[in-house]
Structure 1
Amino acid sequence: MERPLIAALLLMAVASGCASPPPAPPQLLDQQQYAKALQDGYSRFDWPGGHQPDLAVLAEKSGPGPDRLPSGSERVVLEITNSCAWYLDWEDARKRGDQTAATAALKVMDEVLPKFSPEDPDGQRYARETAAKAEAGDGAQAADYVATNCDSVVWQ
């Protein structure tokens, strides 16, 4: 009786993927590969008209230099930079009294940015809080995020 039970459990494990091999480690990117991955990933994001990063500078400042970074690092850098772009766009629109642009930026802050980095629930919660505060007219948390994360970004 024990053998058929073990065989059945093994069969279920294989069928459900539990016995699949572990995922391959991420590819390591040198500076040139990282810059290309950053360029390729850029088009997967919507960017506000007034805040688009200079990708060459971004790659230089966030890349591995003489070392290597795991693939996927460029996605995180682009998510952070994209968040900064929308926070800055929202604040700029508010300052110039452009309610249409502020509302459009706030919509991205509320609906898109909290979906970044699903592996980081704290980051997602922070993005939701930032959007809620911005909607209430408080841009301090958005400004803190930009000051902390994007002081070296050169905007085009």
Structure 2
Amino acid sequence: MERQLTGLLVLALLAGCASPPAPPQLVDQQRYTQDMRAGSAKFSWPDGRNPDLGVLAEKSGPGPDKAPAGSERIVLEITNSCAWYLGWEDARKRGDQTAQTAALKVMDEVLPTFSPEDPDGQRYARETAAKAKAGDGSLAADYVANNCESVLWK
């Protein structure tokens, strides 16, 4: 009986391990930087809020190590959120209703779609947009204070 149970256990384990997930592809700093430059083109950026991608890749990349391919997307999403939150605040300060409306549209329609693997982040983006529409920039300011300090803008 023990032998049969052991055999069944081994078969069950093998069946469960028949298709292990593929390990993530890893990239070096050079490839990470290339991927960041290519990925950046997929985002829209408000006037005056384009990140220095060389500096961003250097600060966020793997350095002498390797990083999972695609990890630059998360950094670009965070940086793009920073750009739009700051762009919205810049437009408010200078009274530019057109730029403010454009930024609110991105904040409301685009930023909440970032990082589908992070529903809490998406909820935060929706709440930030709703508050901003009501004239309350507190969540946007909090996000900027916690995530955007090291971004160098061009």
Q: TM-score, normalised by structure 2?
A: 0.86
Displacement, 1:25? 2.0
Question: Equivalences for 1:133-148 in 2 at 5 Å?
Answer: 133-148=131-146
RMSD over aligned Cα atoms: 1.6
Amino acid of the residue matched to residue 144 of structure 2?
A: V
**Corresponding residue for residue 79 of structure 1:** 77
Of stretches 22-31 and 75-84 in structure 1, the one that deviates more from structure 2 is 22-31
Question: Equivalences for 1:7-156 in 2 at 5 Å?
Answer: 21-156=19-154
The percentage of aligned residue pairs carrying the same residue is 77
Q: Which runs of 5+ in 2 are unaligned?
A: 1-17
Q: TM-score, normalised by structure 1?
A: 0.85
Displacement, 1:125? 0.2
Displacement, 1:150? 1.1
Distance, in Å, in 1 between the alignment partners of 2:45 and 2:110 is 12
Distance, in Å, in 2 between the alignment partners of 1:155 and 1:25 is 35
Displacement, 1:24? 2.0
DSSP-derived class of the 2:74 partner: helix
Distance, in Å, in 2 between the alignment partners of 1:21 and 1:68 is 25
Displacement, 1:29? 1.2
Q: Which runs of 5+ in 1 are unaligned?
A: 1-19
